[in-house]
Amino acid sequence: MEKVDITLMSPPSRMVNHYRPPLALMYVAEWYRMHGKKVKIIDVPMKQIVRTRKFWSNIKETLCDIKTEMYRQISEVRTEWLGISCYSPELDEVTTIIEYWKPHTKIMVGGIHPSLFPNDFKVDLVVRGRLDVTYPAYDLVNMKYYTTPNPYAIRGVFLKATYVLSSMGCPFSCAFCAAPKLRECFESGYIKNPVQLAKEIRKLKQDYKIDGFYMIDDLFTLDKNYVSEFSNLIKKEKLLWGCQSRVNTIDEPTIKTMAKSGCIQMDFGIERGSNEELKRLKKGQTVEKTREVFALCRKNRIRTFANYLVNLPEERVKDYKDIRQNIRDIRPTITSFNTFRGYVGCELPDKIPKESTQNWVKIATHKYNSIWENLQDKRNIRNLFRLSYLKQLWQLIWEVINQKFQ
C-alpha cells in the first residue's frame, strides 16, 4: 500500500469538466511538496467525453461510478491527511465525503466556501485563503489526457491546449458576483511575474507538445504593462492562446501586442445590452466601449467570446431585446448565455430561474452560435492532420450533432 502524507481530491461532480485539470489541487500539492511532504492527487477524469442525450440522462450513474473509483483509489493509499476542495454549490456533496472518511483519516478542507464559512465544516483543519506558490504539480495528474486536442480551452478552436493561471481574484465589484466578499480572504494580484509565466508555458510546450493555452485568470488584462511584457516574451514560442478580459481594461496598443504574440481569442463579460442595466449591475463599462473594443478585436483578428447574464431580479422583456440588439451590434464570434443564481456574498439576491427563461437561453444559444463559423479558424488547420487530432474529431462531430438536436 502506497504511503503518503497528504491525499488531495475534488468532489466527483467536478470530473465532468472538458479536459480541465484540477489546478487548485495542483498548486496546493506543490506547496506541500516544497515543505517536504509526499502528496497524491486523486483525479478520475470521465471516460465518456461526448455529451450525448444519453449521457445527460445517465449523469447520476456516471457520477456514482466516478465517486466509487475515487473512493477505491483513496482506500489503496495510507495517508495521514485527506484534503478536499469545496465551492458553495458542492457543500452537501463535500459534507457526505467528510462523513464517510472522517473515521479513517484526518481531514482538511479548503477553497472558496471553507474560506468564507469555516464553521460549516466539522473537520480537523480548515485552510482559508490561498497558499502562495508559483508552479503547479503537473506531474501528479494525467497531463497527457488534459492536453488532448479539444475545442474547449480556447472555445471553438481545436487545439492541443491546456489551462494556465497567473493571478487570482478580481478587483471589481459587480453586483452579481461574489468577488468583493472573496477579497476578504483571497488577495487579488499577480502571483507570477511574466518571466516565470513564460518559462512555465515553454516547459508545457516541451513536455506535452501543446499548440496553445488558455489563461484561466478571472481577469488577465488588468495590468496592460504586464500583458505586453508577457506577450513579447511568449511571441517566439508560436503558440495560440486566449484569455479573459474586460472592455474597460484593454486598449488598441495592448490588443495589437497580444495579437502579434499569438492571442486569438478574448472572453468578455458583457452581461447586458443597455447602459441602464450595466450601471445597475455596477459593471463599470458601457455599451459604447463594448462596441469599440469588439471592433478593435475584429480589426486585429482576435476572436471574441461574449458572456451575457439573464434571470436577474427585476428583469424586463426590454432587457432581452437589448441583449439581442447588442449581439447584432458587437458581432461576437461566440455567444454564451448564463442564468443567474445568487451565491452567498453577491449583492443581488438569489433568483430561481423560470422554465421560460431556460427555454430562451437554449434557443438563443443555438441562434447566435454557428458551429462552422466557430471552428473554421485556419491558423491551426495544419494540426488537424495529426493522428492525435483525427482521433478526437469524430467525438467533436458526434457531440455537435447531439447538442444541435437536443
pLDDT > 80? residue 245 = yes
Query: What pLDDT shows up at residue 197?
Result: 96
Report the CATH number at residue 377.
Answer: 3.20.20.70
Shared domain for 310 and 342, answered yes or no, is: yes
Query: Mean pLDDT throughout 146-167?
Result: 89
How do residues 295-322 score in pLDDT, each as one tens digit?
A: 999 999 999 999 999 999 999 999 999 9
Shared domain for 120 and 268, answered yes or no, is: no
As a whole-number percent, the residues of the chain with pLDDT over 70 amount to: 88
Shared domain for 224 and 190, answered yes or no, is: yes
How do residues 168-187 score in pLDDT, each as one tens digit?
A: 888 899 999 988 888 877 76
Nearest to 258 by CA among 208, 202, 296: 296
> 311 pairs with which residues across the strands?
none
Nearest to 349 by CA among 325, 377, 314: 314
Q: How far apart are CA 385 and CA 371, in angstroms?
A: 20
Report the CATH number at residue 42.
Answer: 3.40.50.280
How do residues 127-152 score in pLDDT, each as one tens digit?
A: 988 778 789 999 999 999 999 888 88
Domain encompassing residue 92: 2-127
pTM of the model: 0.91
Stretch among 154-163, 252-261, 396-405 having the lowest mean pLDDT: 396-405
Of 387 and 35, which is predicted with more confidence? Answer: 35
Q: How far apart are CA 273 and CA 269, in angstroms?
A: 11
Q: How confident is the model at residue 405 (pLDDT cuts 50, 70, 90)?
A: very low
Strands 189-190 and 167-168: antiparallel
Shared domain for 93 and 183, answered yes or no, is: no
Shared domain for 81 and 166, answered yes or no, is: no
| The total number of residues written for the chain in this structure | 406
**HSE of 26 in the Cβ direction (CA atoms, 13 Å)?**
18
| Number of helical H runs and strand E runs in the chain | 16, 13
3-state SS, 40-104, equals EEECCCCCCCCCCHHHHHCHHHHHHHHHHHHHHHHHCEEEEEEEEECCHHHHHHHHHHHHHHCCC
pLDDT > 60? residue 188 = no
Decide which of 92, 127, 162 is a domain's last residue. Answer: 127
Residue at 259 is within a domain = yes
pLDDT > 60? residue 210 = yes
Decide which of 127, 155, 170 is a domain's last residue. Answer: 127
Shared domain for 166 and 304, answered yes or no, is: yes
Q: How many domains does the chain fold into?
A: 2
Query: What pLDDT shows up at residue 382?
Result: 58
Whole-number average pLDDT of the chain: 90
DSSP string, 280-325: HTT----HHHHHHHHHHHHHTT-EEEEEEEE--TT--HHHHHHHHH
